[in-house]
Amino acid sequence: SLPTHQGKFIASDGVQIASGMATSAACAARRLGAEISLWASAGDDPVGDQLIAGIEAEGVDCSHVRRVSGARSALASILVDAHGERIIVPFYDTRAQADPEALPFPDITAFDAVLAD
């Protein structure tokens, strides 16, 4: 079970991945053979570099990911117990949030589907 009191707890395992609802959907669609372009924002920090590299490794086009100078990329710690119950603790820098005004697609009719998260 997850801790219910303060203290330091050692995890039995750890994984670092680029994920989130839109990113997971993009990677899943790519694995199914779709051509995918991701529109998102990330800080210009090492975390953003790692996130984008991981998403690009899945074959997703990240050329439309907006890098925000001086901002920190979003990340989350997710604790999962033996029963699959989880606690998600996210961090978001408001400067790196997606800006609708920066949408790089003046005409989205080129796409067969669009997922907004």
CATH number at residue 33: 3.40.1190.30
In this prediction the pTM is: 0.80
76 domain-assigned: yes
Contacting residues for 26 by C-beta, under 8 A, at least 6 apart: 36, 38, 55, 58, 60, 115
64 domain-assigned: yes
Confidence of residue 104 (pLDDT cuts 50, 70, 90): low
13 domain-assigned: no
Question: How many domains, the chain?
Answer: 1
pLDDT at position 12, please? Answer: 86
117 domain-assigned: no
| pLDDT tens string 73-88 | 999 999 998 889 899 9
List beta partners, residue 14. Answer: none
Q: In angstroms, rounded to a whole number, what is the distance separating the alpha carbons of residues 75 and 38?
A: 17
List beta partners, residue 78. Answer: 88
87 domain-assigned: yes
92 domain-assigned: yes
Domain membership of residue 72 as a residue range: 21-97
